[in-house]
Amino acid sequence: MAKDSITLIDNRTGKSYEAAIFYGTYPEYGAAVGAVDLRQLKASEDDFGLMSYDPAFMNTASCQSRITFVDGDKGILRYRGYTIEELAEKSTYLETAYLILYGELPTKAELDQWKHDITFHTILHENIKKFMDGFHHDAHPMGMLVSTVAALSTFYPDAKLIFDAESRKKQTCRLVGKMPTLAAFAYRHSLGMPYAYPDNDLSYTGNFLNMLFKMTEVKYQPDPILEKALDVLFILHADHEQNCSTNAMRSVGSSQADPYCSVAAAAAALYGPLHGGANEAVLKMLSEIGSKGKVPEFIKKVKAGEGRLMGFGHRVYKNYDPRAKIIKQVADQVFEITGRNALLDIALELERIALEDEYFIKRKLYPNVDFYSGIIYQAMGFPVEMFPVLFAIPRTSGWIAQWEEMLLDPEQKISRPRQVYLGPDKRSYLGMEQREASAGEPSPTKPRKAA
Ligand code: CMC
The number of the ligand 1 atom at minimal distance from the alpha carbon of 371 is 44
Cβ atoms of 321 and 369 within 8 Å: the answer is yes
Q: What integer best gives the mean pLDDT of the chain?
A: 95
- Same-domain check for residues 36 and 71: no
Quick: pLDDT tens for 398-423: 999 999 999 999 999 999 999 999 99
pLDDT value at position 366? 94
Half-sphere exposure of 349 (CA within 13 A, CB side): 17
Quick: pLDDT tens for 210-253: 999 999 999 999 999 999 999 999 999 999 999 999 999 999 99
Mutate to test the pocket of ligand 1, among 59, 241, 274 (most ligand atoms within 8 A of CB): 274
Round to whole Å and give the CA distance between 270 and 86.
Answer: 26
pLDDT value at position 451? 41
pLDDT value at position 93? 98
Closest C-alpha residue for ligand 1 atom 10? 313
Closest C-alpha residue for ligand 1 atom 34? 314
Cβ atoms of 226 and 380 within 8 Å: the answer is yes
pLDDT value at position 450? 45
Gap from CA of 241 to ligand 1 centroid (Å): 18
Quick: pLDDT tens for 251-263: 999 999 999 999 9
Round to whole Å and give the CA distance between 214 and 294.
Answer: 39
pLDDT value at position 446? 64
Tell me how far apart the terminal alpha carbons of the chain are, to the nearest angstrom: 47
Q: Residue 364 belongs to a domain with what CATH number?
A: 1.10.580.10
Q: How many helices (H) and strands (E) would you count in the chain?
A: 18, 6
pLDDT value at position 356? 95
- Same-domain check for residues 51 and 116: no
Half-sphere exposure of 311 (CA within 13 A, CB side): 26
Q: Would you say the C-alpha torsion 327, 237, 225, 97 has a positive or negative sign?
A: positive
Rounded to 5°, the CA angle 312-314-319 comes to: 85
Closest C-alpha residue for ligand 1 atom 41? 310
Residue type, 54: D
- Same-domain check for residues 43 and 120: no
pLDDT value at position 447? 58
Write the CB contacts of 128 (distance below 8 Å, at least 6 apart in sequence): 148, 151, 152, 155, 182, 185
Task: Give the residue-averaged pLDDT of 436-451.
Answer: 71
Q: Which residues line ligand 1 (CB under 6 A)?
A: 243, 274-276, 278, 302, 308-315, 363, 365, 368-370
Closest C-alpha residue for ligand 1 atom 40? 313
Q: Is the pLDDT of residue 264 over 60?
A: yes
**What is the residue-wise DSSP string for 148-178?**
HHHHHHHH-GGGG-TT-HHHHHHHHHHHHHH
Gap from CA of 364 to ligand 1 centroid (Å): 10
pLDDT value at position 269? 98
Minimum mean pLDDT among 1-5, 101-105, 418-422: which range? 1-5
442 domain-assigned? no
- Same-domain check for residues 173 and 203: yes
- Same-domain check for residues 15 and 96: no
Closest C-alpha residue for ligand 1 atom 9? 313
- Same-domain check for residues 132 and 247: yes
15 domain-assigned? yes
Total domains in the chain come to 2
124 domain-assigned? yes
pLDDT value at position 30? 84
- The DSSP bridge partners found for residue 32 are 22
Gap from CA of 266 to ligand 1 centroid (Å): 20
- Same-domain check for residues 363 and 291: yes
- Same-domain check for residues 165 and 295: yes
Under the banding of pLDDT at 50, 70 and 90, the label for residue 151 is: very high
Gap from CA of 1 to ligand 1 centroid (Å): 41
Task: Give the residue-averaged pLDDT of 9-19.
Answer: 96
Please give the residue range of the domain that contains residue 272: 65-410
Nearest C-alpha neighbor of 421 from the set 57, 51, 62: 51
430 domain-assigned? no
pLDDT value at position 438? 87
Q: Is the pLDDT of residue 24 over 70?
A: yes
Task: Give the residue-averaged pLDDT of 350-373.
Answer: 94
Gap from CA of 397 to ligand 1 centroid (Å): 26
Task: Give the residue-averaged pLDDT of 322-350.
Answer: 92
- Same-domain check for residues 248 and 265: yes
The number of the ligand 1 atom at minimal distance from the alpha carbon of 240 is 51
Minimum mean pLDDT among 58-62, 132-136, 176-180, 441-445: which range? 441-445
Quick: pLDDT tens for 118-147: 999 999 999 999 999 999 999 999 999 999
Round to whole Å and give the CA distance between 151 and 106.
Answer: 31
- Same-domain check for residues 123 and 142: yes
Mutate to test the pocket of ligand 1, among 243, 312, 372, 399 (most ligand atoms within 8 A of CB): 312
pLDDT value at position 448? 53
The number of the ligand 1 atom at minimal distance from the alpha carbon of 277 is 52
- Same-domain check for residues 384 and 329: yes
What is the DSSP secondary structure assignment for residue 255, as one 8-state letter?
T
Give the dihedral of Cα atoms 363, 365, 279, 253; nearest 10 deg: -60
- Same-domain check for residues 48 and 73: no
Quick: pLDDT tens for 275-293: 999 999 999 999 999 999 9
Percent of the chain past pLDDT 90, that is, above it, reads 93
